[in-house]
Structure 1
Amino acid sequence: MKQMYLISSPKDDIINRNCEAEYKSPSYLSKILEKRIRQ
């Protein structure tokens, strides 16, 4: 999870800090992965 946080974009970084509990949930991590794959 720490790795994902470090490689996320600055925009994601702000979202992660605002929703830390959500960030730690698997569903939120899946959303980030999906977003990164689509880009």
Structure 2
Amino acid sequence: MRLNQMKSSQVKWFIGLWFVGFLGLALIAGIFKALLMLAYS
């Protein structure tokens, strides 16, 4: 039972970290795109 609980919390952490990483990448990409648009306008 305890091992199963550990695994589900690890899965939650993995999904949470992946989601945060994905959002961070999207934010960086958006800022980079905005800077490029400013540079070429």
Structure of greater Rg:
2
TM-score by length of 2: 0.36
TM-score by length of 1: 0.38
Higher percent of residues as helix: 2
